[in-house]
Amino acid sequence: MATKHNNKQTGRLSFFQVPANILAMETTDTAPRSRVGGWRGHPNSIATLHKYRVSLASPALRRCVRCRQVAMRGIALCRVHDTRKRQDTPGRMARRVLAQMDRRGLLPAELVNTPGWRDMAPVAWGTRDRLRLALVLAWDSRDSEPLAWARAWRAAREAVRGV
């Protein structure tokens, strides 16, 4: 019922109404399409997001006791003020090291600009950053230790193919 929640006085859409242009979108096309070039999801997923969306200003949401941001599930603190120790994983450590190297300008531009590096973008970051760090570490000695370099490169290519 697209018009059920219409506000007749203002003509504006109510908070939970799915806009008519989204309801009218073609929903019979189920053929697989390329994921390259932006979002190609099903229109129904937009309609569902509209249906269940909640305003961040909603008074129903619990608030952080320190800063009044939205609190995380099960605790009275937001992401910033939750100081519980997060478990360190190889992916997180690699991500941190890569970010530090990036800030210091230590990532080799020749490597970062290769298509192979960019192709790793859709890989989950926990895996991707470990493989990228291995590439960075093998980069300088790629002439003296070509097998180690080939191994790191092959692992990166296999991760991309596995997506």
Tell me which residues touch Zn ion (CB under 5 A): 64, 66-67, 69, 78, 81
Q: Rounded to an integer, what distance in angstroms lies between the CA atom of residue 132 and that of residue 100?
A: 13
Instruction: Please state, in angstroms and rounded to a whole number, the distance separating the CA atoms of residues 35 and 30.
Output: 14
| Nearest approach, Cβ of residue 1 and Zn ion (Å) | 39
C-beta closer to Zn ion: residue 64 or 136: 64
Smallest separation (angstroms) from Zn ion to the CB of 71: 8
Which residues lie below 8 Å from residue 83, measured CB to CB, with a gap of 6+? 77
Instruction: Please say which residue, 62 or 81, places its beta carbon nearer to Zn ion.
Output: 81
Smallest gap from residue 77 Cβ to Zn ion (A): 6
Amino acid at 103: R
Distances (CA, A) of 71 to 47, 59, 61, 63, 98: 26, 12, 8, 5, 30
Residue sitting closest to Zn ion (CB): 64
Measured from the CB atom, is 71 or 107 closer to Zn ion?
71
Judged by beta carbon, residue 76 or residue 99, the one nearer Zn ion is 76
Write down the least CB distance from residue 84 to Zn ion, Å: 13
In angstroms, rounded to a whole number, what is the distance separating the alpha carbons of residues 126 and 117? 15
Q: How far apart are CA 99 and CA 109, in angstroms?
A: 14
